[in-house]
Structure 1
Amino acid sequence: MRLVLLADVKSLGKRGDLVEVADGYARNYLLPRKLAGEADKGAMAKLDAQAKARDRREAQEMADAQVLASRLETAKIAVKAKAGGNGKLFGAVTNSDIAAAIASELSVEIDKHKIELPAQIKALGSYPVEIRLHRNLVAKATVQVQAA
């Protein structure tokens, strides 16, 4: 029996996949649990429309991420932290501090988990930072740590 998956099924496929399964498996497991629907013309048309909408949404997200990446790569991201006389910080600059600096300077909210530091920042100076904006796009920004 040909079915369209309505949810991810571990041993079968992902949502939206067209699968061929045994009649009993479909009638007794997939259909009663609403994990799949019959692959008729209406379901196939709906599946195609969803795929096109997903592709358009993905393209728009990628375009927005590229614009943001160009802004991040050219921006001066300044983080102020307390430091001693020798340039060492009292503590460290974290992903949260960098996300807050980006939010205040560029008015863009970035999740702190998307900011990747090569090592802990414990001194004044300039540091390269990678920010994962999209599945296929990583922006490289420079963070300037200044004394508060």
Structure 2
Amino acid sequence: MKKKITVILKKNLVNLGSVGSIVKVSSGYAFNYLIPYNFAQLATVGRVRHYNMFLSIKQKKLNEIQSKLQIISQKLNKITKISVKKKIGNNNQIFGSVSDKEIILNLFDITGEKLDKKHLYFPDIKKIGIYNLDITLASDIKLNIKLQILPAFI
């Protein structure tokens, strides 16, 4: 029997690698531990081809998502400031607070792109004024837009 065999990992293992990694291990370690406990499977030609096919599909999806995020960021870069009107009371304090839904709707009206609330970061707003709105689309795509809160006169 061979001393080293190739296996495809099914679970993350600290010393070996992450899910889907193709690694060479000793045959005893593979047949006595990894395969019986369902941590890995033997790397046959068909399984390696199947694994590579899934990797290419995953990479294509990631590229599509990245290109869509680039288009959204280009549209958002054209915006310098958005305004939200709120009712005010004493000392320029607003009734309630500014919600992420209001900001998302405002950005949707301007750009036509629907954002998720997990992408928006802004402080708790209780007074009228200008605040920073941070938008993080991906780890490498971050934008900063001014958010202006104006009084709404009835």
The aligned residue for residue 144 of structure 1 is 148
Q: 2: distance between equivalents of 1:127 and 1:100?
A: 18
Q: 2: distance between equivalents of 1:10 and 1:101?
A: 46
- Asked whether the equivalents of residues 96 and 112 of structure 1 are also in contact (C-alpha less than 8 Å), the reply is yes
Give identity over the alignment, percent: 27
Equivalent residue of 1:123, what SS? coil
Q: 1: distance between equivalents of 2:86 and 2:34?
A: 56
Q: After the TM superposition, which of the residue ranges 88-97 and 126-135 deviates more from structure 2?
A: 88-97
How many residues matched? 147
Unaligned runs of 5+ in 1: none
Task: Report whether the alignment pairs 1:92 with 2:97.
Answer: yes
The aligned residue for residue 114 of structure 2 is 109
- Asked whether the equivalents of residues 5 and 14 of structure 1 are also in contact (C-alpha less than 8 Å), the reply is yes
The aligned residue for residue 25 of structure 2 is 21
- Asked whether the equivalents of residues 72 and 140 of structure 1 are also in contact (C-alpha less than 8 Å), the reply is no
Unaligned runs of 5+ in 2: none
Distance change >3 Å, CA 116–CA 23, structure 1 → 2:
same
RMSD, aligned α-carbons: 2.7
Output aligned runs, 1:61-76, within 5 Å: 61-75=65-79, 76=81
The aligned residue for residue 79 of structure 1 is 84
TM-score w.r.t. length of structure 1 = 0.76
- Of 59, 63, 74, which residue of structure 2 is paired with 1:59? 63
Q: After the TM superposition, which of the residue ranges 19-28 and 47-56 deviates more from structure 2?
A: 19-28
Return the offset for 1:25: 3.7
